[in-house]
Structure 1
Amino acid sequence: MLASFDPAMLLLLLVAGVWAGIQNALAGGGSFVTLPALIIAGLDPKLANITSTIALFPGQITTGLAGRKLVAGAERLSFRVLAIISFAGGIAGALLLIITPSRVFASMVPWLVLAATLVFAWSTWGRRKPQPGDAPIVPPPAWVSALIQTVIAVYGGFFGGGAGIMTLAALTLARMPVRNAAGTKNVLISLANLSAAVVFALSGAVAWAHALVIGLGAIAGGYAGARLLHVLPDKVLRVGVVVIGVGLTVGLFVRG
């Protein structure tokens, strides 16, 4: 299966997997690395997106399990409800992607990447840290938090880029402490990606050889990222995500 790969292409996919694993462990945004690598490898954007989800979700599951002690419910919404929403939303998003024609999805990808890049940029430079004397944040009603998480989960199953940052923002808006929000976010994203990956695997629309190479790299990268977590500044990785996102957005618009 792997013998059909050109050595340079095999190296590209393996390096992309390692980089994505490190990126996801430290700051998120691994799909910004694997998506262009898979497109360069000859996959159309829709197949590349599906294959990327399959390749990266085992590492995301591991990350979620590692931080499970931080998992909590929002002030007005239990974790069980959030988990059910995330799992079901991932299935809905995956099914939506499967029925979306490749040509239509290809035309959407530049805009999706641009939107996700803007979300990452906002999370890096635009978010204002709470200051002493600020009025306390009033959490939204439970149905609003549920609706927000549903939209994010469906988006995660359909595309995924930036879903982690969106989830973190939604949980902190619901007045969950940041540390707990980060751990909870990892579990919710892993649940959405797990359900989406199952749908994709059953659909047969996966480039399994490509997924295997990237997946092996991502496992190694995830381990390395966990070791680098206490050394490499988070903001350095976030800047890398934004730079990759801008380059990928420009390239996709030019290509389109």
Structure 2
Amino acid sequence: MIDVLIFFVGAWAGAQNALAGGGSFLILPTLMLSGLDARAANVTSCVALFPAQIATGWTGRALAAGANGLSLKVLFAISVVGGGVGAVVLLITPSAFFSRLLPWLVLFATLIFAWGSFFRKKTETPRRLSARGAAAVQFLISVYGGYFGGGIGFMMMAALTLAGQNARVAGATKNVLAGVINAAAVAIFLFAPDLHMRQAVTTSLGAVIGGVVGAKMLHHIDEKILRVFVVIIGGALTVGLFYRAA
């Protein structure tokens, strides 16, 4: 019965990611409900969502580009190293400590998602990041992405536009780099005892199907409503995790 629930939540999350993002907010508590601790749920969720992320990045790869003197290959390398570092740090983090940290991570990711969805001014022309600054920011985002990952899409969109990319190119580039960050993390998580393969495969199958359906529905659903829904789910999950950790 729990596998059926995981599959359908995975499908819902896949569609949510294709339409507006924030699908991990649905998968994480469902995996924890199935009996996984917080760290195992995070590891399993990362592996489960990886195929869909690779498909998304591959689809838009032609638009991906470097930024402000940094080639795409350099950003690629930074993302691989950062994602691997974040994954290793996660695996050496005691599970009990990660359980106490998780509510803060979800709160941070929810706030980043809300800012990127409703408050960030897309037409403003702020001060640009230097090449060195862009490299440092991408590395920090990559480490965070390998460790937890919630909100990295909006973080990279902000960083890449600050580094001079337009929104369309930044969107394609962040999809490619998100896949790269998770590839580094997944390569490490595949050998971790925290990975629960049955739940990962079940979630992944649902997410891929949901992602295809979501992509087809992209022009028929109000994205703002979905983003409000993600913020509500993220807020509820934050409250629930703080209550559980108390």
Normalised to the residue count of structure 2, the TM-score between the two structures is 0.96
Give the alignment partner of residue 119 of structure 2, picking from 118, 126, 144.
126
> 1:198 and 1:236 mapped to 2: Cα distance?
35
Give the aligned partner of residue 193 of structure 1. 182
Give the aligned partner of residue 33 of structure 2. 40
> 1:69 and 1:100 mapped to 2: Cα distance?
37
Amino acid aligned to 1:91? G
Unaligned runs of 5+ in 2: none
> 2:223 and 2:69 mapped to 1: Cα distance?
30
Amino acid aligned to 2:129? P
- 1:204-223 to 2 correspondences below 5 Å: 204-223=193-212
Shift of 1:138: 3.6
Shift of 1:129: 3.4
Give the aligned partner of residue 88 of structure 1. 81
> 2:111 and 2:44 mapped to 1: Cα distance?
24
Asked if 2 retains the 8 angstrom alpha-carbon contact of 1:36 and 1:248, the reply is yes
Shift of 1:20: 1.2
RMSD: 1.2
Give the aligned partner of residue 167 of structure 1. 156
- SS class of match (1:203): coil
| Runs of 4+, deviation exceeding 4 Å | none
Give the alignment partner of residue 224 of structure 1, picking from 213, 226, 235.
213
Shift of 1:75: 2.2
Give the aligned partner of residue 24 of structure 1. 17
Give the alignment partner of residue 191 of structure 2, picking from 202, 208, 213.
202
> 2:108 and 2:127 mapped to 1: Cα distance?
27
Asked if 2 retains the 8 angstrom alpha-carbon contact of 1:26 and 1:226, the reply is yes
Unaligned runs of 5+ in 1: 1-6
Give the aligned partner of residue 77 of structure 1. 70
Shift of 1:204: 3.4
Asked if 1 retains the 8 angstrom alpha-carbon contact of 2:68 and 2:130, the reply is no
Does 168-177 or 231-240 show the bigger shift?
Answer: 231-240
Shift of 1:110: 0.2
Identity %: 50
> 2:161 and 2:148 mapped to 1: Cα distance?
23
Deviations 1:23-58 (A, max 9, x none): 221222221111011011111000000000010010
Give the aligned partner of residue 5 of structure 2. 12
Give the alignment partner of residue 147 of structure 1, picking from 136, 154, 162.
136
> 2:185 and 2:223 mapped to 1: Cα distance?
28
Amino acid aligned to 2:201? L
